[in-house]
Homo-oligomer: A and B are copies of this chain.
Amino acid sequence: MLPDGGRREVAGAPPPPATCCPDLHRAVELVGRRWSGAILWVLLDADRPLRFTDIRAAVPEISDRLLAERLRELEAHDLVAPADAAPGYVPTPSARALRPALVELRTWARRWLA
């Protein structure tokens, strides 16, 4: 093994960029799964707990099987929880804290993906 840990710098070459962003990567892996962003948005936009069929109606392209899977994942990551007072799901504080990022993404899409 070389004294510098095995790396060789080419004289005059710019240093490589820092290794990227594990935090961002974890967030994108979680929120970026197909339909997860849309499901969270629907729950964040509602003023009451939403039942499975409510979410299904608001995200019409998703299948029952995939919606059930996504809800399980989002619950496991503490983004969605069963409501206490009524049947249905509510967003957790973690999901509420994600809202500004989703709003930024939507604003960007409207401007740049039009």
Contacts and interface: CB of A to CB of B under 8 A. Distances in A.
**Chain A: interface secondary structure?**
helix
A91 to B, nearest CB: 12
A78 to B, nearest CB: 8
A24 B48 contact: no
Interface in A36-62: 36-38, 41-42, 45-46, 48, 50, 54-55, 57-60
B58 A105 contact: no
Given A14-B48, A27-B106, A101-B105, A20 B32 contact: no
15 contacts: A17-B46, A17-B54, A18-B58, A19-B60, A20-B59, A21-B37, A23-B110, A24-B37, A24-B109, A27-B109, A28-B31, A28-B105, A29-B34, A32-B34, A101-B108
